[in-house]
Amino acid sequence: KAGVTQTPRYLIKTRGQQVTLSCSPISGHRSVSWYQQTPGQGLQFLFEYFSETQRNKGNFPGRFSGRQFSNSRSEMNVSTLELGDSALYLCASKSEPYSNQPQHFGDGTRLSIL
Amino acid sequence: AQKVTQAQTEISVVEKEDVTLDCVYETRDTTYYLFWYKQPPSGELVFLIRRNSFDEQNEISGRYSWNFQKSTSSFNFTITASQVVDSAVYFCALSETNSGYALNFGKGTSLLVTP
């Protein structure tokens, strides 16, 4: 079974630009979550999507948004990029939301803001 | 406030030594789950174990073992006879019903095992 696939693996952007990251969950998994990992703040929950609807949201500004498609693939978008948005963005999937099934993570997208 | 505390930032051991990674959590939920994940240099978080709040039985999986104690709000992870391949960052995480089951991670413990 293929794991969680994130593209691209690396991105370099400049301040003020916007970026879109993509995540394909494990086949059969319908819940997709996004996490941001930085050296200072560690791993922080961004949001979770299920059935094309945002089901849960962390404490991030509105510049961070996401969406999910009917095939469960998800994208996250960050607008008006700031230097502090430089991070590893991890996507995770599990079969159902509102459950404590283990989340399975992708390799992440490393975003660098110049 | 940090809900999951991993007090050890970095640990360095020599191969074949035993090592314990500490995790202390804080929650008001009566039903919650605890997880350990391993993050090798490649970046992917690898699931190791899940334990629910009603199951205080310790668990052993090969060289890995976990000690869950509700009385001290701790969920410690021991690697027996460590190997170089165990070198990674290990994260403890808490999942609560009132946070929609999102994972709340500790800061991680970086383990270096040298030959």
Contact A76, A87 (CB under 8 A): no
Helix (H/G/I), strand (E/B), else coil: B43: coil
The Cα B11–Cα B21 span in angstroms is: 9
Chain A nearest CA to B46, separation (Å): 7
**Partner residue opposite A99 with nearest CB, options B35, B44, B101:** B101
The Cα A3–Cα B44 span in angstroms is: 11
Q: Is the pLDDT of residue A69 over 80?
A: yes
Residues from chain A contacting residue B103 (CB–CB below 8 Å): 33, 35, 43, 45, 92, 103
The Cα B95–Cα B109 span in angstroms is: 19
The Cα A50–Cα A88 span in angstroms is: 22
**DSSP bridge partners of A43:** A37
- Span B29-47, average pLDDT: 92
- Span A101-107, average pLDDT: 92
The Cα A29–Cα A94 span in angstroms is: 5
Report pLDDT digits (tens) over A44-55: 999 999 999 999
Phi, psi of B70 (to 5 degrees): -65, -30
What local confidence, expressed as pLDDT, does residue A81 receive? 97
Encoded tokens for B60: 């052993």
Report pLDDT digits (tens) over B7-28: 999 999 999 999 999 999 999 9
Residues from chain A contacting residue B107 (CB–CB below 8 Å): 42
What local confidence, expressed as pLDDT, does residue B42 receive? 85
Per-residue confidence band for B100, with pLDDT thresholds at 50, 70 and 90: confident
- For residue B92, the surrounding DSSP H or E stretch is strand B88-96
- Span A16-39, average pLDDT: 96
Residues from chain A contacting residue B45 (CB–CB below 8 Å): 90, 92, 105
Report pLDDT digits (tens) over A5-16: 999 999 999 999
